[in-house]
Amino acid sequence: MKLLCLGDSLTYGYDVRPQERWTTLVSNRSTIEIDNKGQCGDTTAGMVFRLHQLDLIGYDAFFVMGGSNDILLDKDFSAVCRNMESLVSLLKSQEEPVYIGIPPLTKSESAYYGWQEAGAVHRHNEILRRYRQWLLDYSANMDCTVIDFYQALLDGEEASGKPLYADGVHPNAEGTPFCRSGTEGAGGKADSSFFIVKISYCIHSKSLCLSCSRSRGIFCISMI
């Protein structure tokens, strides 16, 4: 199975080693071949432009996540939504499954690293919350599967008491979902990362099945 992942630095795997990127972990622990088209700093408008340059023939599924940079740059919210609609519409035209990622909230330390002004953190997070709800509603209307990094990191930090962000915007090695293919139950163990994302591919339905659970099996976040 071949999966195209389109996005920004959250998809690319910024600030973690190449072998710790969630896309690499999925590929290494499954039969899924991932083409990571995450580009650091990209906006949804840039993703629309890039997607039109790509040959989409030969992929069995598509993943797209964007909008964080738009929000941090104070781009028009309705324009972000329209861009996401354009991305999903083009991907859906290939008649293969489309998975939509929900970007996580930011932290106050992101201002120290220069990602945003300290006074803008709360406002931007309110927009990210609004954006998450829009993505949930839109995904349901378009029959797309949601992969909720937003909720996973929130729950992960609350349950673990550990910082799961590298710089207030991007997950660190522990916060990056630990991805594997398999049929294990929710109590499976992760070696060093906090989450286990189990991914399998159904040949008959031509769709990905994803689930996410905390490594100690205390909670489960549905990604199916």
Render 171-220 in DSSP notation, one character per residue.
Answer: B-TTTS-EEEES---TTPPPSSSSEEEEEEEETTTTEEEEEEEETTSS-E
For residue 104, give the H/E element and its range. none
Name the token pair of 121. 């953190």
Contacts of residue 140, defined as CB under 8 A and 6 or more positions apart, other chains included, come to: none
Model pLDDT, residue 200? 43
Instruction: Determine if the pTM surpasses 0.85.
Output: no
Model pLDDT, residue 195? 38
pLDDT in tens, the chain (224 residues): 899 999 999 888 877 788 878 788 778 777 888 899 999 999 999 999 999 999 999 999 999 999 999 999 999 999 999 999 999 999 999 999 999 999 998 888 888 888 889 999 999 999 999 999 999 999 999 999 888 887 877 777 777 778 788 777 888 776 654 322 221 222 222 222 333 344 444 444 444 454 443 333 222 233 33
- What CATH number corresponds to the domain at position 103? 3.40.50.1110
- Strands 220-222 and 207-214 turn out to be antiparallel
Domain that holds residue 144: 2-222
Task: Give the C-alpha distances (Å, rounded to integers) separating 44 from 40, 67, 87, 133, 224.
Answer: 12, 6, 8, 17, 24
Task: Give the C-alpha distances (Å, rounded to integers) separating 43 from 38, 154, 187, 199.
Answer: 11, 23, 37, 27
Structurally, how many domains does the chain consist of?
Answer: 1
| Helical ranges in the chain per DSSP H | 9-12, 22-28, 44-53, 68-72, 77-92, 121-142, 149-160
Closest CA to 10 of 86, 74, 89, 64: 64
Model pLDDT, residue 41? 93
